[in-house]
Structure formats: structure tokens, C-alpha cells
Amino acid sequence: MKIKILIPLYNDWQSLIKLLEEIDQQIIEINNNFSVIILNDGSVEKIPDNFPNYSKINSIKVLNLKTNIGHARCIAIGLKYILKNDDADYVIPMDADGEDRPEEIKDLVKKIRESSDIPVVCERVKRSESIFFKFCYFIHKLITITFTGNSIKFGNFTCLPKVVVKRMIEEKATWSSFSGALTKISKIKVAVPSERGTRYFGPSKMSFKNLFVHSLSIMAVFKYNVLIRSILFFFIYLFLIYEKISVITLIPILLIIIFNLLVFMVSKRENLEDYKNSIKNIFDVKIVK
């Protein structure tokens, strides 16, 4: 069984080196073929000249991109590259900074042996951010399930069978939202509990702005669900305030309208033609091992 670990990265080579060392230690007893593909998202920091020797990781490639395109689109390009150029039975996307814990790879592999063609996702049961950020993330999940009808408790850290990778690269939403696209194309998923780790070096890059864009990107995948549920809310709310209509009571309706406009604007990021041509953004492939 051939497993590719797909890691997007921007200027975080120090964390990557530590991550690869920990991955190599964690998979030492797993009887599978592991290799790593790193998506260098236009880093301005130089790639290390020498990587340490790894005993279990069979090969490491660095795909250097011409321009910085962001985390989700890096993964999208990586999936397309793997399907076209590499032979892989499964793909595991994960962050380079340590927030996706290498020790959980064993849990993913164990699950795919039980359900070979079903994607396995890491559902967060514990987070490491501030209380306020956790509260905001809870609000994000609540809004998502309310307006899309989907409870999405996972991020990029998953294990995708080859058949699912094929479906992902044919789905335009993959170019905008990984978790949204996976939820759309695969209603059945197997979950393993996951704790969010702490960054190896430096502060977390998940800001409130990034969380906001992330949330809108997911909802854009299900924009018509959002629209239908918003219209339903509009009529129910209007019925409840019919005798008390004022500028103040109309504010929620205005917010819902703005919310829908933002969702439909973000949905324009989903462009299958751009995704098909995205492989051209790779200008160089460096063989590290």
C-alpha cells in the first residue's frame, strides 16, 4: 500500500524538518510505503541544502510554485499532481507546522485498512488556541450547520483513497475549500478523534481573518443551501416581527442579505478551468530523497 503525505508550506522550513523527523519515527513500525510531497507555496526563504536522512520515508519531492496561492489551493494542486505523476493508493494532506500531529497517522492508516475506499477524517476533539478563538470557531461550526445542513468538524488532515482523490480533482470546489469539497463529494466518511497540536516554532497562522475566509469558503460550496435556508429564515422572521417592524428589527434581515452576497462572491473562487490549468504553476520539482 503506497501512501503519499502531502504538505503545503510557506517559509516554514524549520518546522518542516522537525515534522519529517517525527513522521519518520511514527511510521517506523507501519508496514507500508510512505513518501512525501511538499508544496512550496512561493516561499521567499531558501530551501535547506541538506535534509536529514530518514529511515522509513522512501522519497521526498518539493514542488516549487511560481506564485503564492494559499493553503487550500496548494493541496488542490498537490492532489492533481499526485494523480497524474505518482502512483499512490492513499493521500494524507497535513500541515507543516506541527498542528497536525504525526502520531495520529497511525490512526488514519488503521482506519483505512478497515474501510479501504472511504475517506478518513481527523475530527478535532481538543484545540490549542485561546478561549476567544475557540468560541469563534464554535460560532463558525454553528453557522455552517445552520445554513448548509452539514456538520464539518475536520480540516485538511485526512486520508483520501485514490478513488476519492479522482473525484476531488473533478470537483471545482476543491480549488476553494478542501473540507467543503470533500463533504460535497463524499457523504460517507470515517472519523478518528484528533487533538490539535501546538506549532513547533512561532505563533499560529490561523487568524480571525483566515477563519472568516475559511468559513465563507465552506459555505460557498453549499451556496444554494445557504440561500434556501436564508429565505426560509426571512419569511419566518418577518412573520414573527410583522406587527413590530422597525429599522432595528430589520437589521437581522439586512445582515442575512449581506451574508448571502459574501457567500456568492466567494463562490466565484470555484473555477474548474483554473483548477485544470493550475498544474502549470509548478515551475520546478526538486528531488530531496
Each residue of 249-264: pLDDT tens digit?
889 899 999 999 999 9
Does 78 reside within a domain? yes
Note the pLDDT of residue 200: 86
Q: Which cell numbers hold the place of 2?
A: 503506497
Rg of the chain (C-alpha set): 20
Q: Which residues contact 63 (CB under 8 A, 6 or more apart)?
A: 37, 38, 39, 40, 77, 78, 81, 282, 284, 285
Half-sphere exposure of 276 (CA within 13 A, CB side): 5
Confidence of residue 90 (pLDDT cuts 50, 70, 90): very high
Does 235 reside within a domain? no
What is the largest distance, in Å, between two alpha-carbon atoms of the chain?
A: 73
Decide: 68 and 94 in contact? Cβ < 8 Å. Answer: no
265 three-state secondary structure:
helix
> Which of 45-54, 71-80, 103-112, 163-172 has the least mean pLDDT?
45-54
Q: Which residues contact 32 (CB under 8 A, 6 or more apart)?
A: 1, 2, 3, 109
76 three-state secondary structure:
helix
CA distance 74 to 41: 7
Does 240 reside within a domain? no
Angle, in degrees to the nearest 10, between helices 162-169 and 71-85: 120
Does 259 reside within a domain? no
Note the pLDDT of residue 129: 64
CA distance 220 to 214: 10
pTM of structure? 0.91
Confidence of residue 92 (pLDDT cuts 50, 70, 90): very high
Q: Which residues contact 217 (CB under 8 A, 6 or more apart)?
A: 72, 176, 177, 180, 266, 269
Note the pLDDT of residue 135: 82
**How far are the Cα atoms of 57, 172, 283 from residue 39, in angstroms, in the given order?**
17, 20, 12
Summary count for the chain: helices (H), strands (E): 10, 8
Note the pLDDT of residue 127: 62
pLDDT tens digits, 114-147: 877 899 999 987 666 668 777 877 888 899 999 9
Domain extent for 114: 2-202+271-287
Q: Which cell numbers hold the place of 235?
A: 419569511
End-to-end CA distance of the chain: 20
CA distance 93 to 102: 11
Name the DSSP class of 246: -
Does 237 reside within a domain? no
**How many domains does one find in the chain?**
1
Q: Which cell numbers hold the place of 16?
A: 518542516
Average pLDDT, the chain: 90
Query: 90-93 and 57-65 as β-strands: parallel, antiparallel, unpaired?
Result: unpaired
Decide: 22 and 52 in contact? Cβ < 8 Å. Answer: no
Does 220 reside within a domain? no
Does 255 reside within a domain? no
CA distance 64 to 288: 12
**How far are the Cα atoms of 41, 158, 233, 249, 286 from residue 101, in angstroms, in the given order?**
21, 12, 40, 46, 25
Does 37 reside within a domain? yes
pLDDT tens digits, 224-233: 999 999 999 9
Q: For the domain that residue 275 is a member of, what is the CATH number?
A: 3.90.550.10
